[in-house]
Structure 1
């Protein structure tokens, strides 16, 4: 039976399209992962209304690049949320990356280690270690991805906002592992974007689940202060964009308000948008009235870089 040429052409087109649409996924660490140990934990991927990844064993960066014709040279590393229990990989990760690509901005979705895995030795150190390495990887390969090494930002949602703000504010925290050449590259983001972020670990306004996962049941005052990022802001903290909803019942808006004040007091250029309604975890807020215009405000802000 002869093969229909039209059907064959269609199949070939699908194969070619699929080959072009596959994104590069890069392991953050070559060889042994620092601050890790052997365990029986296995990475779990649960896909329901969104894809949630828990017990992350191999932290990665997924690369999303705009077409060369529209590339602006800007890049953003995205840290999805999930209360430090899982990573909401598509809802606050790949969906956001595709939005950036539509604006000519390269995006990198970070699948970072979570502190509740037995494979992590010191719970609170792993997310920052992964974020530092992610920034250094993107900066070291900027030419390959047509990215300006001085226009690389960090973005985070909810607990991912804590990962992002910890990097943005404590990017120069020394490594406790044996360094390689890449670790000499600056891990300072050129700008920081925080969407309904967990910022503080103090009991008055923290997200209790994130604090418990990251710091444990009875953290010391030293640890609480170290990971309360509103207390760690310096003049060298990068320019920051913040979005939060007043009626956020999971992560109180005071997380953002207190961080804004700390940034202002240190003279850090900051723009903040507080919406009266929106709750928590709204991502791009599609179908949520004028709340869904917050990405437009972000795009406007990004024009200054």
Structure 2
């Protein structure tokens, strides 16, 4: 199959060392593939405030026109690849996956061996200061476009499920880390599956979403601690991972039909 990209450079790359603190990527007219190249970097999402531990090979995909970035506790190295939407559209047309107005969705902390290996090739090219020609850039650009387009079309096997070991690993992790921020990225990595697969397969296995399951486990743990009577409601809320006491109270009423104060009084009157 022959791909016609045109004379414009299909991708641009920047290898950078980022200092601790806020990293904001303003909207641009290109898809950005940001590949993390440092070990164990604790970061915080600028939108949700949730924490995540980024490792070598974690990939963020920022669609054309979108803002990206996060806060990091320590300095880290990353490779940013900027791919023109024109390349994506033309490659999509060649392989029968039309993009057009339906742009690709953003991804956070994606694990994808083929994209990572392509990024490694670019990183090596930059490190040895190779004078890459247009043909090389076109080849990498086409390969990246094919992989990105494939993300949207990943087939879900209707018979596929979390294995008993995978499910137990996720449930155990949730129980052990209830007091900490829990995200789909963290839990899907624990299970060894993609975010979309975890969302689908967890609900099949447990009958409710990951988010609702985590909230229910937090409520159950809070109920146990309140009935023990050793901690006050505000302390219990933090102990089980709720943002604050009123957040815990709202979900307790929804799940149990009672308030933290009701449970506290029950413990005192025993």
The structure with the largest helix share of the pair is: 2
TM-score by length of structure 2 reads 0.27
Larger Rg computed on CA atoms? 2
Larger relative contact order (C-alpha < 8 A, sep ≥ 6)? 2
TM-score by length of structure 1 reads 0.25
